[in-house]
Amino acid sequence: MSGENQSVLVEFLFLAYPSRLELRVLCFFGLSLVYVLIVAGNVLIVVSIQTEARLHMPMYYLLGSLSGIELCYTAAVVPHMLANALRSQPSITLLACAAQMVCFIGLGSADCLLLAAMAYDRYAAICHPLQYPLVMTAAVCVRLVVASGILGFFLSSQLVAFIFSLPFCRARGIQHFFCDVPPVLQLVCASGRIHEWSVLGAATLAIAVPFSLIAASYAFIVAAVRRVRSAAGRRRALSTCTSHLAVVLLQYGCCAFMYLRPGRSYRAGQDQLISLVYTLGTPLLNPVIYTLRNSEMKRALGRVLTRTCRSCNLERPAPHRLGFGDSQRASMCSKGISQLMLK
């Protein structure tokens, strides 16, 4: 970035927030509710998988890692959105915008790559069930999760470093709620071809390539399921894939619409809605989808919630700690003794 641009442009303004105070307050409470539900749902999944011995399997380990990534993914964006919702002039500094974009794109890319790893897990379990315990070991699962994170942040850091090395115009208003790639690129004064191809290349590696691997995995899965003679066996094999496939279509559909297209086709209102879907909607719906379509997860969540409720009941203060007087305690004791004598 040139010295003139650095001295003039020190922060961006977000133009998508409503101007009226009442609407900003309503936006704040709506975002807060959605964020609480996202955190609660994904934390429940992580805790259930961690505490339930029946869920100590590669499929659930990858699911727990996906929920952990989505907790960090929303934490990179939503708290700043909540703060800006109550400000009369929502803004962000250049450095904070770059950091937010690195975290957002890096964790989003890791999310897409991890979904591809989950598709490979389903392929190994259905197409090669005898070799599955040898193929999908705990060490392999850890390597897949770590590789997804490293590759995701490598792609995002390279892309963001390139974007913020370009000259920005004096206009500093971003038609969005946070620092996403397409609206920030609208402020770049350089030739559009260079940065459009850079975004397309990063999106191809983070979205198109993993989706191709997922499609290939499901092609082999469908071929293997068709060879199963019993209808019950086919349903049982496919039941473990439907939740993952629903999440894949939601996540990859929104990301492909946003990043696998020319930057000049950006439409502020339409793209703001789509970006909110994969920023808030996907992390909110993932726990619901995986819970409703998976009986093991439903039972595990029920046991975790039951244990939590029991521990809360055990930790309640005894009646004499609530400020009962001596006469009240005496009457309570006499009632208890009389009931025991009647029995």
Residue 182 contacts by C-beta under 8 Å, 6 or more apart in sequence? 199, 258, 259, 263, 266, 271
Choice between 10 and 338, residue whose per-residue pLDDT is larger: 10
What does pLDDT average to over the chain?
83
Choice between 175 and 309, residue whose per-residue pLDDT is larger: 175
Helical axes 58-75 vs 78-85, angle rounded to 10°: 30
CB 148 within 8 Å of CB 107: no
Q: Which is nearest to 251 in space by CA: 44, 99, 45, 107?
A: 107
Instruction: Tell me how crowded residue 207 is: count the other CB atoms within 10 A of its CB.
Output: 21
For residues 187-203, average pLDDT: 79
pTM, two decimals, is 0.82
For residues 220-242, average pLDDT: 81
Strand order in the sheet with 11-14: 91-93, 11-14, 173-174
Torsion-angle region of 323 (φ positive above 0: left; ψ -120 to 50: alpha; else: beta): left
Choice between 132 and 263, residue whose per-residue pLDDT is larger: 132
Residue 198 contacts by C-beta under 8 Å, 6 or more apart in sequence? 159, 162, 163
Q: Categorize the per-residue pLDDT at 198 as very low, low, confident or very high, splitting at 50, 70 and 90.
A: confident
For residues 134-160, average pLDDT: 94
| 14-23, 136-145, 240-249: segment of lowest average pLDDT | 240-249
Distance CA 122, CA 99 (A): 35
List of E strands, the chain: 11-14, 91-93, 173-174
CB 17 within 8 Å of CB 80: no
Q: Categorize the per-residue pLDDT at 337 as very low, low, confident or very high, splitting at 50, 70 and 90.
A: very low
What pLDDT is recorded for position 215?
94
What pLDDT is recorded for position 200?
86
| 105-109, 201-205, 307-311: segment of lowest average pLDDT | 307-311
What pLDDT is recorded for position 145?
96
Is the predicted pLDDT of residue 169 greater than 50, yes or no?
A: yes
Percent of the chain whose predicted confidence (pLDDT) is above 90: 42
Q: Categorize the per-residue pLDDT at 272 as very low, low, confident or very high, splitting at 50, 70 and 90.
A: confident
Domains of the chain: 3-308 (1.20.1070.10)
For residues 35-46, average pLDDT: 93
What pLDDT is recorded for position 270?
77
- Which tokens in the block code for residue 260? 């696998």
What pLDDT is recorded for position 317?
55
For residues 215-237, average pLDDT: 84
